[in-house]
Amino acid sequence: MSGKKHSIHRAYRRLRRAVRYFAKPKNRRKIRQRALVAGVVILVAVAFIAGREENNVNYTGLLNTIAAGESKGNYNAYYGNAGNQGVDFTSMTVQQVLDWQHDYVQRGNPSNAVGKYQFIRPTLDGLVREMKIRGDARFDEGLQDRLAIRLLERRGIHDYMRGRISREQLAHNLSMEWAALPRVIGGNPEASYYDGDGLNAGRVSVDQILAAIDSLRRTA
């Protein structure tokens, strides 16, 4: 038998063996089970890799851009006093900050936003409950950053990192959280989402917020 005919004959025998193997019900079950296990392993691996990528994101540029418009980067800022040095919120407990916010509005002030990211009382209270933060935890720089990152997550930061929404949509979402940011989408894109409410105004340009969002992918 020539070499070519021998190769064809050998391939034919292998094909017949494969057909007989797959024809047996018990073998089909084994294959399905192995395929299912392999699929689960792949899904777990993909989720693990995606989680590591998200955890490795450097939020510093975006957080600083938000804070520049909200508080000039001051962790002790409060509404109407971005340069505050008299009230040291970073040395207070979370509960003390919440109490301060309540009293501040009771005295007739229009907003009780505090900290580098200007958390209003309902938002801060909700984050504390959601993240199971103790009332005696200190409202320091690290905690404020963690709270702000949680707000980024609420507004779709992971969807953006996974390519599910555009940077413009993320910027628009963030403008609903932080009034100093531009709305980006719609008429008058440089304006605050809350423009005209008498309390808020856009202080960050569209180019600035989009550049900060772009930095997430460069530093991931």
Calpha distance 94→99 (Å, rounded): 9
Residue 181 near residue 66, CB atoms below 8 Å: yes
Higher pLDDT, 96 or 219: 96
First to last CA, the chain: 61
What does the pLDDT look like over 93-143, one tens digit per residue?
999 999 999 999 999 999 999 999 999 999 999 999 999 999 999 999 999
Calpha distance 51→56 (Å, rounded): 9
As a whole-number percent, the residues of the chain with pLDDT over 90 amount to: 69
Domain ranges, ordered by start, for the chain:
1-33, 71-140, 155-220
* Residue recorded with tokens 């690290």: 142
Q: Which residues contact 164 (CB under 8 A, 6 or more apart)?
A: 156
Q: Please report the pLDDT score of residue 198 as a whole number.
A: 78
Calpha distance 76→201 (Å, rounded): 20
What does the pLDDT look like over 5-46, one tens digit per residue?
666 777 678 777 777 776 777 666 766 676 666 554 454 344
